Structure 1
Amino acid sequence: MKYIEQVFKYKHEFWRYLLGSIVIIFVSQIMQIPFVLAVLYKEGVSVLESGDGYKLLSVLEPNLNLFLLMLPFAVCLPLLFLWVKKFHEQSIISLTTARKKIDWKRVKFSFLLWAGITAVLVIIDIQLAPENYEYNFKLVPFVILFLIGVIMIPIQTSLEEYIFRGYLMQGFGALFLNKWAPLLLTSFIFGGLHAFNPEVAKLGYEIMVYYIGTGLFLGILTLMDDGMELSLGFHAANNLITALLVTADWTAFRTHSIYKDVSNPELGWDIYIPVLVVFPTLLFIFSKVYKWSDWKEKLTGKITAPMVVEKISETNPL
C-alpha cells in the first residue's frame, strides 16, 4: 500500500488532524517559557518589550540558548507520537513509511550524502572567500555544542518532518484525495512558518523561495519514496552540520561552531541555486539509487479511498 493511502486503515477524519495540530502548537508555545524566563532573568523585561529578535536570541550563552530553543521539540515529538497512537489508532511505522518497517539504511544514506556535500560546499566557500569567515573553534564549548546538537537537533528536524511530511501530508491526502494538494500545502505551510526566522528579517522575504522550495523538495522525496526516511536524514544533516560548521549573528542558530560568517549578508541570484540546481540534482541521485518511476502518478495522482461495505447479517436480513 502507498504512503498516503495506508492512512485509510486508521481514524483519519480531518478534525483529528486540526485538533492534533492545535495541541502541538499550544504545547510548543508553553515549552518556550523556560527560554523566556532565562532571557528575563539575564536581561529583564526590556529585551522582550524591544521586539528585537536578534537581541532576544543573543542574550543567552549559545549552548544554553540552543538547548532551550530545542526543548519544545523534545517534548512535542513524543506528544505527536502519542496523539497519533491514541487519537488515530495509527502506528508510528505507518506514519513514517509504507514499508513494513522503517528503513534506517535510507535515513543513514540521505544523512551522510547531504552532510558530506554540505561540508564540502562550506570548505570550498571558505577557501574562495576567507575574508567572510572567522575561525571560531573553542574545544570545550564545541564539545558541548556537539553533544547538544547530536541529541536534540535530529529531534527538532524529526518533529518538523513528522508534522509536515507525515501527519499533515497524510491528513491532507485523505481530505483532498489527491497527491498534489498535500504536497503544495505542506510545502507552503512549512515555508511560511520559517517567515519568523531572523534570517528573513535580515535578508528579506525573497529567502522564502528557499524555505518553500526545501519543503517542496522534502515532500517530493516522501511521495516518490513512499516514506519519510530520506527526508528525515536530509533534514537532520542540513541543520546539524550547519550548526557545527558555521554560525552567524543574524541566524536562528547562534552556536559555538568551528567558523563564524562575518560577511554582510545579501540576497542575490545564488538563493535560487539550491531550489533550481542542488535539489533537482539530489532528486536525480535518489531516483537512480532507489529506482523511482511513474513520477506524475506519485506526485499528482488521485487517491482512492477504500469502499466501506457493511456486512448484512444472515440472521436478520433486510
Structure 2
Amino acid sequence: MYIEQGYKGNLGLWKYAFIPLGFLALMVFNYISTIMSPVPVEDYMQQLIDKLGSNTVLVILLAPLVVGLFLVLGWTKLVHEQSITSLTTSRKAIDWRRIFFAFTVWGLITAGMTYAYILFAPENYVFNFQMKPFLTLAIISLLLIPLQTSFEEYLFRGHLMQGLGILAKNRWFPLVVTSVLFGVLHLGNPEVSKLGYGIMVYYIGTGFFLGILTLMDEGLELALGFHAANNLITALLVTADWTAFQTESIYRDISEPSLSWDGFIPVFVIFPLLLYVFSVKYKWTDWTGKLFGRVLTEEEFKSLPENEQ
C-alpha cells in the first residue's frame, strides 16, 4: 500500500502542492525563456561549454536538482512529519537490493543498445575518450546524477503520487497525472526542439513505466535504480551537441538528429518486457487493483494491522 504511506505523515493539501507547484512554475519559466530567447538553446549551451568546460556546465545543470532532492526530503521530514522510508516504500526498510537490481539490468541494456548503435552505424559516432576529462566526468556523474534522478523520482512518483492518490482516493489518477507531468516538464530540453514533439511519446511513456513500477512494486526502489542507470550510463557513454547533458563521454554522436522508429522501441517493446521480468521476479499480482483500484481512507488504513500497512 504505497500511496497510503502518506497517511503516516501530517496531512494537508498545501503541504503536497507547495513543492510541485514551485517546481512546475520554474519549468514553465524555463520553457518560456527557451522559446522566447533570440539565441537557440543549443548555441547558448555551446557558448557556456566553450567558456566554462562541459564538466563545469554539467555541475551547474545538476546542482539545482540536487538541492531539490534535499528540499523534498527535508520538507517530508520536517513539514509532513513523515519518515523518508515511508516516502520511499511500503516495506519496513528501503530495499537496496531492488535499487541495485534495476540499476544493473537497465545499465546493461542501455550499454548494450548504445554499442549496438555504434556497431551498426559507426559513421554516426566518433571516439571522444580523453582520460582526465572523462575521469572528472565519472566522479561528477557518480556523485550527482543519482541525486538528480532521485529528486525526480521522489518528487513525481513519491511526493506527488502519494498526495494525488490520497486526494483522488484512486490509483489511476496519480499515475496518469504524474506520468504526463513528468513528460511535459521535459519540453524545455534541446532534444525536443531538434527531434520534434514526437519525442514526448518517449518521455511520457517513460513516466508511465516508472509509475507502474512504483505502484506494482509498492515502492520507489525499482524506479530509483532504473532512472539512475538511464542517466548515468548515457552521460558516460555517448553525448551529442543537441542533448540536455553534453559531456566528456566515451563517444560523441555526430549524426543529424532525427526521430525514427527506433526511438519508440523502449516504450513499446523493452519497457513491457521489463515489467514482465520484474513481475516474475517479485511475484506481482492484482494488476487491476494496484493500478486502478481505490486508495483506502486514513481510518481504514490505520485500522489495519501494522504488518499489513
Whether these two folds match at TM > 0.5 is: yes
Question: For 1:16-35, what aligned pairs fall within 5 Å after superposition?
Answer: 16-23=15-22
Aligned to 2:40: 52
What pairs with 1:216-231 in structure 2 (closer than 5 Å)? 216-231=208-223
AA partner of residue 68 (structure 1): I
Matched residue, 1:70: 62
Shift of 1:23: 4.8
CA contact (8 A) 2:150 2:224 kept: yes
How far apart are 1:200 and its partner, in Å? 0.2
| 2:129 corresponds to 1:137 | yes
Q: Distance in 1 between matches of 2:147 and 2:289?
A: 32
Aligned to 1:82: 74
**Structure 1, unpaired ranges of 5+:** 33-47, 309-318
2:151 paired residue among 153, 156, 159: 159
1:261-280 map, 5 Å? 261-280=253-272
Classify the secondary structure of the residue corresponding to 1:284: helix
Structure-1 separation of matches of 2:299 and 2:107 = 44
Mapped contact 1:28–1:73 kept (Cα < 8 A)? no
Alpha-carbon separation, structure 1, partners of 2:21 and 2:100: 32
TM-score (norm 2): 0.90
Contact residue 111 and residue 236 of structure 1 kept, 8 A: yes
Residue number in structure 2 paired with 1:3: 2
Distance 1:291 1:307 in 2: 29
In structure 2, stretches of 5+ residues that fail to align are 31-35, 301-309
Alpha-carbon separation, structure 1, partners of 2:110 and 2:71: 31
- State the match for 2:178 in structure 1: 186
How far off its partner does 1:15 sit? Answer: 1.7
Give the secondary structure class of the aligned counterpart of 1:195.
Answer: coil
Alignment partners' CA distance in 2, 1:273 and 1:253 = 22
The TM-score, its normalising length taken from structure 1, stands at: 0.88
Greater alpha carbon shift after TM alignment, 73-82 vs 195-204? 73-82
Which residue of the partner structure matches residue 234 of structure 1? Answer: 226
For each residue in 1:65-97, what CA deviation from the matched residue of structure 2 results, as whole angstroms up to 9, or x when unmatched?
101101101211111111111111101000000
Kept after mapping to 2: 8 A contact 1:199/1:251: yes
For these two proteins, the number of residue pairs brought into alignment is: 292
Tell whether 2:288 aligns with 1:296. Answer: yes
Shift of 1:52: 1.5
Equivalent residue letter for 1:21: P
Cα offset for 1:50?
Answer: 2.7
Q: Deviations over 1:3-37 (max 9, x none)?
A: 0012123222222111232455679999x9xxxxx
SS of 1:247's equivalent in the other structure is strand
- In the TM superposition, what are the counterparts of 1:79-118 in structure 2 within 5 Å? 79-118=71-110
Contact kept in structure 1, 2:100 and 2:225, CA below 8 Å:
yes
Contact 1:28 1:72 in 2 (8 A): no
Letter of the structure 1 residue corresponding to residue 14 of structure 2 = W
Question: Offset at 1:204?
Answer: 0.3
- Greater C-alpha Rg: 1
What displacement does 1:213 show? 0.1
1:247 maps to which of 201, 222, 239:
239
Deviation beyond 3 Å, 4+ runs, structure 1? 22-30
